[in-house]
Amino acid sequence: MADETRTFTEHLDELRSRLIKSVILVIIMAGVVYNFIKVIMPSLIKPVGKLVFIAPQEAFITNVKIALFGGLFLASPFVLYQIWRFISAGLEKNEIKYTLIFGPLSFLFFLIGITFAYLIVVPLGVKFLLGFATEYVTPMISVSKYISFVGALTLAFGVIFQLPLVSLFLTKLGVTTPSFLSKKRKHAIVLIFILAAIITPPDIVTQCLMAVPLLVLYEIGIMFSKMVYKPS
């Protein structure tokens, strides 16, 4: 392996170093985003129109949440780079080159994932959930809960959109094959719906809005795997 002489403690030290660097940059970027909260907020609450806060500190805490989510988004290229650099430490020398390709692609798929969530999943999910309002039940959504809902959902989609790249990367390393991924399709479908049920709110619409793209991404992953697979 590329770093076979390094001890487990040294790998942990490297992981800690990369995590610290990533956290520092996220905090710095969050400070930048905090100055633009008033510009960002109207776009975020557009699907619901109006929000309320039910505790004196809630509006301030919500601003901090938005800043942190925004900081993570702005710092994501660097964070993803740190992740791939850490992974490359355990690869052979001829495999390290893959991280130079997958790093930028990872950020691209991350952007596609959060854009899909923000433009499609969040509006549709909110519309469905608010559809349960009646003349006796009036929605009064807390700003903190709503921002947590939007932030968690968009970040989750950014992560799950890495699935095709993971399949491609593992195939390149010889860990998996297209036939293995195809044979495990039924198991993958079950796991995908379980994962969607865990990540999303407890309603069938948002679960399907996550599960269906995941199924498509799994099939794309198989296609990517076939493109790079070289039988031994």
pLDDT at site 31: 93
SS3 36: coil
Whether 106 contacts 45, CB under 8 Å: no
pLDDT at site 35: 92
Token pair belonging to 153? 């959902």
Identify residue 92 by its one-letter amino acid code: E
pLDDT at site 5: 54
Burial 203-229 (b: 16+ CB within 10 A, else e): eeebbebbbebbbebbbbbbebbbeeb
Token pair belonging to 105? 């692609």
pLDDT at site 46: 84
pLDDT at site 204: 75
pLDDT at site 89: 64
pLDDT at site 26: 93
Q: CB neighbours (10 Å) of residue 185? A: 12
SS3 173: coil
Mean pLDDT in runs of 10 for the chain (232 residues)?
A: 59 83 93 91 84 86 91 88 74 61 80 89 82 79 87 87 83 80 86 80 74 87 81 67
pLDDT at site 71: 92
